[in-house]
Amino acid sequence: MNGRKPVRDLLEDATFWSLVDQSGGIDACWPWQGKLNPDGYGVVGGRSVGAHRIAWAKANAKEQGALCVLHTCDNRPCCNPKHLYLGTQVDNVRDRTNRGRAASGDRNGARLYPERILRGDRHPMHLHPEKAGRGSQRANAVLTEEQVLQIRLDAAAGIKPADLARQHGLARSKVSALLLGQRWKHVGGPLRASTRTRRLTQDEVQMARSAHALGETFAALSRRLGVSNTTVRNAVLGLKAFSKRRL
Ligand SMILES: [Zn+2]
């Protein structure tokens, strides 16, 4: 829908607006009267350039660059520049999902491109049966892009990662990786900033231990050092990673 073909020559085309139905007035949707692609977006001159992209570019006297031209009106053939704005592919996916228009049913990729899905003998479970977790060990569910997006949206809505892991039969570490965008980055959706705290230096650990011995709380040290409460506690008590570090 948002191919990146050059649109310069199309921008010069004076006949463009004659194919846009502006009869509804300045605030109405202006549907493209020319061809539509299978997704319902207007296309210009038989090329896979979205009519809405050209409309935005003409109205703003520049090309969109790396960004997508998106609709506020959710009406794909609409070319009213007042209904168009620039956003990222991630915004695009989020908007579609918020409006309940993520490809589902016959429009889902799994239906459109069944050959891309590994099944039967090509399925990883067949190729590497020894890697298959069983029963409570099962922590390697095969995810779809839709599930990944849903997990990100659920997490953004406040569902705990541990609950998401249980719900989808995933290892907690996998859920964490996909929420951070370390896996499945292309799917988009809301990502989390890494909450990993920095490593404390040996001096800081010594300082934390002395300060704690003198009565400074873990919470106060956590604020002072800019790491989590847990990290301070582990450092002071010599737990977890700090039990292996010679100090
Ligand atoms: Zn519109």
> What local confidence, expressed as pLDDT, does residue 209 receive?
93
The answer, as to whether pTM is greater than 0.75, is no
Q: Is there a contact between 84 and 55 (Cβ–Cβ < 8 Å)?
A: yes
- Locate tokens 């599930």: which residue? 147
- The three-state secondary structure class of 34 is coil
Q: In this structure, what DSSP letter does residue 142 have?
A: P
Distance from residue 84's CA to the centre of ligand 1 (Å): 8
- Portion of the chain with pLDDT greater than 90, in percent: 17
Q: Which helix (H) or strand (E) holds 86?
A: strand 84-87
Instruction: Give the least confident one: 154-158, 232-236, 240-244.
Output: 240-244
How far apart, in whole angstroms, are the C-alpha atoms of residue 99 and residue 230? Answer: 40
Ligand 1: distance of its center to the CA of 16 in Å? 17
Rounded to the nearest angstrom, the distance between the alpha carbon of 244 and the centre of ligand 1 is 61
pLDDT tens-digit map of 87-99: 877 667 666 666 6
Out of 11-15, 67-71, 169-173, least confident range:
11-15
- How many whole angstroms from 25 Cα to the centroid of ligand 1? 11
Mean pLDDT is highest, among 81-85, 153-157, 178-182, for: 81-85
Report residues near ion ligand 1: CB below 5 Å: 29, 73, 75, 78, 80, 83
pLDDT band at 137 (very low <50, low <70, confident <90, very high): very low
Cα 163 to ligand 1 centroid, rounded to whole Å: 39
Identify the pLDDT of residue 4.
46
Question: Vertex 57, ends 59 and 33: CA angle to 5°?
Answer: 80
Q: What's the confidence (pLDDT) of residue 227?
A: 85
